[in-house]
Amino acid sequence: MTSIPYDKPLPVLDPLTKPYWDFAWARQLSVQRCQSCGDRHFPACEVCPVCLSDDQLWEVVSGRATLVSWVRFHRAYWDGYRAELPYDVCLVQLEEGPLVLSNFGCDIPDDVHMGLPMRAVFEHVAESVSLLRFVPA
Ligand SMILES: [Zn+2]
């Protein structure tokens, strides 16, 4: 149980995404893997974006990634982010293939550049909700 105050939007843990959140709570990154064609994808989809099969499982991945891009937001689209302005968003490519939008789990490093090796970390922000962040590996 956690009592961390968190006033930003929280995800809805529905049947489609609950396995992801369960793994995240255990500090493990997971993506969906199609049992028909093997495609790994993120975020969750009802059907495989490649072959449209609904036979998918969640698979724990390494958490290793490469920085593809990043941006600094100077506007708060939700009041909960106002105190953190400016805040940073990153796009990484997981070693296993999927692209993932996330945040840095640290200040943007001075040597930030495309291709920077990154690794996943998790921040418990509410009961059963642990958010994915990336830091330099
Ligand atoms: Zn497929």
Residue 10 has what DSSP assignment?
Answer: -
Centre of ligand 1 to C-alpha 95, Å, is 19
- State phi, psi for 101 to the nearest 5 degrees: -85, 135
Nearest residue to 96 via CA among 52, 58, 47: 58
Nearest residue to 106 via CA among 137, 73, 76, 133: 133
Centre of ligand 1 to C-alpha 35, Å, is 7
Centre of ligand 1 to C-alpha 49, Å, is 7
Paired tokens of 39: 């495609």
Q: Which residues are in the CB-under-5-Å shell of ion ligand 1?
A: 34, 36-37, 39, 48, 50-51, 53
Quote the pLDDT of residue 108. Answer: 87
Centre of ligand 1 to C-alpha 32, Å, is 10
Say which residue the tokens 């036979």 belong to. 55
Asked if residue 45 lies in contact with residue 31, where contact means CB atoms within 8 angstroms, the answer is no
Q: How far apart are CA 62 and CA 104, in angstroms?
A: 17
Say which residue the tokens 């506007």 belong to. 75
Residue 83 has what DSSP assignment?
Answer: G
pLDDT tens-digit profile, the chain (137 residues): 444 567 888 998 999 999 999 999 999 999 999 999 999 999 999 999 999 999 999 999 999 999 999 999 999 988 888 988 998 999 999 999 999 999 999 888 888 999 999 999 999 999 999 999 999 99
Q: How far apart are CA 22 and CA 30, in angstroms?
A: 10
Centre of ligand 1 to C-alpha 85, Å, is 40
